[in-house]
Amino acid sequence: RTAIVLFTRDLRVHDHPALATTCAAFDRVVPLHVLDPALADRSPNRTRFLHECLADLRGSLRERGGDLVLRHGDPVAETIRLAGQVGAEAVALSADVSRYARRRERRLRAECERHRLHLRAFPGLTVVEPGALRPGGGDHYRVFSPYFRAWQAADRRTALAAPERVELPAGVPVGRLPARPAGESPDAVAGGESVGRERLRGWLPVLDRYPDLHDDLAGDGTSRLSPYLRFGCLSPLEVADRAGDRAHPFVRQLCWRDFYYQVTAAFPQLARTAYRAGVTEDWRYDTEALDAWTEGRTGVPIVDAGMRQLRAEGWMHNRARLITAGHLTKQLRLDWRAGLAVFGRWLLDGDVANNAGNWQWVAGTGHDTRPYRGFNPIRQAERYDPDGRYVRRWVPELAAVGGPAVHRPWRLPDPLRRTLDYPPPLPPAGPTPPWLR
Ligand code: FAD
């Protein structure tokens, strides 16, 4: 008996419920990934990372006697075609929440029924499955704290070992992985489960430092596991289990991820439409200001540092994401959807649920009604980059300015300021805020 496991953004062999269950139940298993033109080119950084994940997954499956079968085109049509070629009777995949993924699963289900194939969707993208926890009288949690309490108390499945053997039917053409595409960010990390597991191994012993260091921009004390979680190179359940204490601040961040997944499952239009009903959206549309923000030349050093880190690494520190997003929506008063699109292009970890959920939170259109009112980037800079090291690292034009003075170059003495090749701040959308004077 033969079954197909359709890999999407669950690119690993460890704790992969769809793969482990299928390998246990079927004699032959065809691991398949379909390079989907509908998803290509949205982000060169993520396309490059994806290719590295696929190469690594192929290596792990080969070590187990199998392979990764690669096809190009519509994942539904290609899965059905392959099922016919290998005589499969079932298809397994990991359930996903985005609008696109759910439409793909619905179409696949309909086609599987037509071709008398059994389709089964498995968990694996989150620690706790979206929809598994519901507040009294509601379909999903809209507020984080009660969700976190329920999440900590919830029963969890047990993490699964990687299958020892994956038996591929004889004679299946496996397909070539195209040449590795170039990303856009020169300093982006490499993709793949092997690199992700290595990083996790290095991270767990220093977990104790997280509560003190996670908000220090220059200290860079967060896990940087997000791209590996985004592509499923790591199982979030395994990461949470291995971190231990469910109340640990790092584990709490994994719960934020689950939180936005269950929001997206209930509100799939999260990337387009304000989540909070009745909120007034009154944005400006100013291409020059948007370009300056995107390219890291707003003239506010802490904002420019964050945007330049994003472009260089395809990743940005969470505190810098809050500051840059706050600046776009609160000072420049530009539409959060424009910022979401820029993050979506560059971020290796960019995904609908976390990107849109966080942008809506910062913009004040999300579940929280009081975020960052009267947001002040200079106060943030002085608190989270007290000596300006993060700014000097990413804005070399300001490298000669010592200490926290780097946060307000407009206050430097004229002769010094004139030597710096750095722009004055963009004019704010409303009255000049006190920090800009
Ligand atoms: P750590 O601090 O080590 O946290 C561990 C893990 O918890 C992360 O890898 C991530 O999976 C999860 N996590 C942490 N913070 C959050 C959060 N606020 N919301 C949801 N999950 C979280 N994260 C993404 O994964 N993808 C995105 O597209 C994304 N867009 C964002 C946009 C904005 C405007 C903001 C403010 C935040 C966004 N985040 C996003 C959340 C957060 O900034 C990143 O997850 C985090 O910086 C990743 O770095 P890390 O792995 O070192 O995090």
pLDDT digits 0-9 by tens, 317-366 = 999 999 999 999 999 999 999 999 999 999 999 999 999 999 999 999 98
- What is the whole-number distance in angstroms between the Cα of residue 92 and the centre of ligand 1? 28
Ligand 1 binding pocket mutation candidate from 358, 361, 390 (most atoms within 8 A of CB): 358
Q: For residues 379-408, give the mean pLDDT.
A: 97
**% helix, strand, coil for the chain, step of 5:** 50, 5, 45
pLDDT digits 0-9 by tens, 212-236 = 999 999 999 999 999 999 999 999 9
**Is 259's pLDDT higher than 70?**
yes
Quick check: do 2-125 and 287-436 share a fold?
no
The residue count for the chain: 437
C-alpha span between 38 and 57 (Å, rounded): 22
Superfamily for 287-436? DNA Cyclobutane Dipyrimidine Photolyase, subunit A, domain 3 (1.10.579.10)
Instruction: Determine whether the shortest distance from the Cβ of 256 to ligand 1 is under 6 A.
Output: yes
Q: Does domain 126-157+196-266 have CATH number 3.40.50.720?
A: no
- What is the whole-number distance in angstroms between the Cα of residue 226 and the centre of ligand 1? 6
Q: Where are the alpha helices (DSSP H) in 275-396?
A: 287-295, 301-313, 318-326, 336-346, 352-363, 377-384, 389-394
CATH says 2-125 is which class? alpha beta
Instruction: Determine whether the shortest distance from the Cβ of 327 to ligand 1 is under 6 A.
Output: no
Task: Name the pLDDT band for 371 (thresholds 50, 70, 90).
Answer: low
Ligand 1 atom nearest to CA at 316? 47
Domain ranges of the chain: 2-125, 126-157+196-266, 287-436
Kindly report the protein residue whose alpha carbon is nearest to atom 49 of ligand 1. 224
Instruction: Determine whether the shortest distance from the Cβ of 318 to ligand 1 is under 6 A.
Output: yes
Q: Which stretch of 39-43, 88-92, 152-156 has the lowest confidence by average pLDDT?
A: 39-43
| Predicted TM-score (pTM) of this structure | 0.98
The ipTM estimated for the assembled molecules is 1.00
- What is the whole-number distance in angstroms between the Cα of residue 350 and the centre of ligand 1? 9
- What is the whole-number distance in angstroms between the Cα of residue 312 and the centre of ligand 1? 18
Whole-number pLDDT of residue 428? 86
C-alpha span between 189 and 251 (Å, rounded): 23
Whole-number pLDDT of residue 190? 98
Ligand 1 binding pocket mutation candidate from 234, 354, 375 (most atoms within 8 A of CB): 354
CA angle 386/211/384 to nearest 5° reads 15
DSSP labels, 296-316: T-SS-HHHHHHHHHHHHHS--
- What is the whole-number distance in angstroms between the Cα of residue 355 and the centre of ligand 1? 8
Whole-number pLDDT of residue 132? 97
